[in-house]
Amino acid sequence: MDEGQDFLANLNHNSLEVLAGCWVEPGLAGARSGSIYQFERQGCFCMDPDSANGTLVFNRAASLRDEWAKIEKAQRAG
């Protein structure tokens, strides 16, 4: 980033993805803000402090690697 440049110029403006109407295990109803969970085949998510009154908000902390996709891509290319 150049000196004096607005940091917003370096953000990925397409990084916000909101999924509504998703299903989670009932045990997450008692989750606390800051708790981290792995969602199957998706990644690791942190519960957001904006969660309230049955509306759960999770932020992706890390994606899962898809090793099979790499193998399939290599096989198609080779």
Task: State the Cα–Cα distance between residues 72 and 43, nearest whole angstrom.
Answer: 21
pLDDT at 2: 62
Identify the H or E element spanning 72: helix 67-77
Q: Name all domains of the chain by residue range, CATH numbers in brackets.
A: 7-77 (2.40.240.10)
> pLDDT tens across 32-68, in order?
889 999 988 788 999 999 988 888 999 998 888 777 7
Residue 59 has phi, psi (to 5 degrees) of: -110, 130
**CA atoms of 27 and 67, how far apart (whole Å):** 30
In this prediction, residue 46 carries a pLDDT of 94
Residues 6+ apart with CB under 8 A from 54: 29
Task: For the chain, give the percent of residues with pLDDT over 90.
Answer: 18
Tell me the pTM: 0.64
